[in-house]
A and B are shown apart, each in its own frame.
Chain A
């Protein structure tokens, strides 16, 4: 299942653009390392060595956005990566989903209220998240309950791209089987992930080929690495094991390069458009229908959020107008006062002159 896609869309954006990516997964799956590998810099600081006394403390999930400026072949990208440390680490993880969902919907709410303003802020920053990378543990079996729950609950609000963290713990055979099972599981549970949609009728051959190749790689097998090692005389980003070196940028070893290209070059536009034209629109419709429904039902005590928002806006605008009115009145009065004073002065001057003559 996939979201509908606008046909024939391959804009070549040479000027800079903005893209927001959220990364979700249990700790220890290489989430933070992936972010740093993607940006080729230590965007997210390495986890401080916690004291042993901290290990049993359940801190709960945190939402941490980081913005970094990248340059992809001359194209400037303002990339915001939202990290979610603490996801899945507690004994009871029910709360995690709501936190993330709340954050995503908050960004939509901000846009919604901004759109409803009479006078809009031209410098308003759009913080909507365009894609979510969900890290699956390399179990070799199939999806876990938390994986299914998360993807089900969040897919109505965001493009989800499932990935396999620390995929170097799987042999090529195990990886192929695992990918197949995960995708079967996703299909079985009818979870709408972002699967590089294309239309064989409408799109050109190149697009069809590119998208079906990316689709066949799902879920992307990832390895993260910030250090360089030397292999056969050349320096590569990789992990050194006693039995060999895993190279991050080698497409034979993992799907990192392909995913990076999709996110930062070929498919960011599609992801943004789906977010705006479909996901946000759905949210907007749902939210507004809820308010009109409750209004027509004459629910007592049920807060009509949207019209309350509108009312607030109106009140604000009214207040501003009143302020302007008052100011104008005051200035008028002041001017009148000035004039009157000047008049008085003139009159007394005249009177003096008459006396002098």
Chain B
């Protein structure tokens, strides 16, 4: 019998994935404008760093919230003692109002149906514990956020079965893909408990269409299963079509108080919209009182610090501030995304048309040496080690087609983004030169040139392995 648990010794935490390896490489050699201008530029981190000035200026104008005071009186003691898992009522009210505002006030939320958790990471895991167990599966459209492998599966024992989406229809979910996934689960003897979507999508950066949401509602109604909508990026929608929340569709179809109403659950967080991942503010919203009750009790394992609840309660209750923040934030995201898109265009690279998120889903299929995931990995390694950009390969997001990469744009300065695009362009230009050389050589001596190119790629692969040995 092992000394530790199976969970401790397996790798379902998913951290051996390339998604995290890129991070590690960045940590060893991080770009800095002055101190390390040749370092790796981090483009694999979906952070929103564009609007801190707005937050800081709010803080300057609100000294009470900043220093544990209410009406000039210190409430430090009350906050330090407050560990009620129902959360600070004012905070939950402010949070549901904020969520409503993001949805154009087309839906309203009841604070009593909300459970606070330590980040969306905890929210997603907690929902799994409530809705499923060993032997069950959730269906997820691909490509999906790599962290789901850990958050949904690791300690819960629940399986993920992918709903395969493809570039042929811009990665939209289709009825046949849903059915196919459902059947796949059954073949593996797994009981399907629900579907989990991320809307807006990570890594696609797109909002789901009403048609897709309708399709999903029909599907979960017919199969009598759950739907979890992770709406962590809902406040990052910067252009049309706008954001349509699953709750809005349910309401429009007059499905309130029906069975399916209780089986739709939302996950939210302030890590992306407000750019505060360090504060660990997540939430579960459910219309099912049993889920709310169970999740509330489970939140004991990861409550939100009362210090943080208090600060954000004051901030989000300031409606003038939230309105201004959401509007300015969107404008900045749009502008920054445009810069990335035009930079990529100059390098002859296109993206999946996107209107949300902190990243773009970039099409590099034409740069692959072959239409395989091995070729994708080779390309990725060159991008990380030679061009020194940490971007996330589609395979780490379980994409069904090789050649796609997620590239983040909101976690760096404009200058850094410009530099990153320059590096990329140089790389692509040099590849094109190689390619044209290659075809010239091949005209002269086909076998010789093929083996030389193989030799080039094998070297890159080899050096990566050497690094792994030394530095892991």
Report whether chain A binds chain B. Answer: no
